Amino acid sequence: MDSEYDQAVTLPLSGVLVADFSRVLAGPYATMLLADLGATVVKVERPSSGDDTRAWLPPVDADGQSTYFDSVNRSKWSIDLDIADATDLAIAQRLAQRADVMVENFKVGALGTYGLAYGDVRAANPGIVYCSISGFGSGAGAELPGYDILVQAMGGLMSITGTSEPTKAGVAVVDVLTGLHATVAILAALRHRDVTGIGQHLEVSLLSTLLSSLVNQASAYAIAGVVPTRMGNAHPSIAPYEVYPTADRPIVIAVGNDAQFARMAQAIGAGHMATDERFATNALRVAHREALKAELIGLLAQRGADHWQEVIGAVGVPCGPVNDIADAFALAARLGLDPIVEVNDARRSGPRQQVANPVRYSQTPIRYPSAPPRVGEDRAHVLALLGLGPEPR
């Protein structure tokens, strides 16, 4: 393999081969995280058109490629295969047989037609960790389409988001969470495989992921039979804990306990609020949320968000302005979190910027060996990896 593709041997998943038969977001996000950890990820795409997200534009990068696609496909090799074609299918099957991990989000049962279902792959590769991602599981919900917004709606998230009408999150958060759960499951299964030599089939659905990720809202129903409703930016169990207007722009104040509330009240010149019989404890503040909010709005209207962040933050109470995405990246940069990395790829005319992996490792720092690929760009390298052709010069 050419040096620009080599994975550093010190990375945790160096030597692990991942066959990525997924597309759009949840699966590609999971496989990108595995690539960040050193795995060699071979992305199987449709000839010509490739992953659906290649057509989701604008915006585009310097090569005219969708930034949506770029967001979850760095450090992968792309091979374009038509699995309905016998020659290409043989390559896909060879890849699955050689892989340590296979990730797919085809329609439930569809890969069985091509000898790429879990049972088929396991017969030739008993150690395979095979991860299937679906919208609503492989049982009665197998025919339902797994689109993030649909799962946000049917899974209850939209019923507790927004103000006057059901509202989706501003990003496909269920897909992202499903990708994270898939990654955790794959790593656990690899650990089990390393100990026992036995692979396994992992099933991750968007609906089950969402229900788990609803945490306190889900447990309110499961344990107490309470069906949560939309509360805008308010919290069902804590107050004050929401967005408040100021003299210039909105600010979030997140008071977690009574001591914090007392310090905040004193800092904003309203120390009496801490002993007010309506606000003395969190339970009372929740019960009198609207009265509390009205008093805070009147006080906060006197100065701007930056002033209140300084004053309230100085007494150890969480608060901060509502930033846009540019402001958020600028904040992370000021805090030394290095949110953007440059990927230097010899196949491109210059470095490509990527959003950094959020985890810092003291011994095995993340490396970014290559930019998101073009469709089929690495076909020759993949064939060589599989012993089906010479290594390109």
338-345: which pairs have CB atoms within 8 A and are 24 or more residues apart? 341/368, 343/74, 343/368, 343/369, 343/370, 343/371, 345/4, 345/369, 345/370, 345/371
With CA atoms as reference, report the closest residue to 379 among 162, 169, 77: 77
What are the backbone dihedrals phi and psi of residue 80, each rounded to the nearest 5 degrees, phi first?
Answer: -95, 120
The C-alpha atoms of residue 254 and residue 288 are separated, in whole angstroms, by: 16
**Length reported for the chain:** 393
With CA atoms as reference, report the closest residue to 273 among 306, 299, 235, 302: 299
Cα R_g (the chain), whole angstroms: 25
Contact 125, 96 (CB under 8 A): yes
Q: Which residues are catalytic?
A: 175
Contact 370, 75 (CB under 8 A): yes
With CA atoms as reference, report the closest residue to 169 among 196, 197, 149, 142: 149
Burial 302-317 (b: 16+ CB within 10 A, else e): eeebeebbebbeeeeb
One-letter amino acid for residue 41 of the chain: V
- The tokens for 5 are 């593709």
Estimate to the nearest angstrom the gap between the alpha carbon of 44 and the chain centroid.
21
- The tokens for 72 are 């979850």
252: helix, strand or coil:
strand
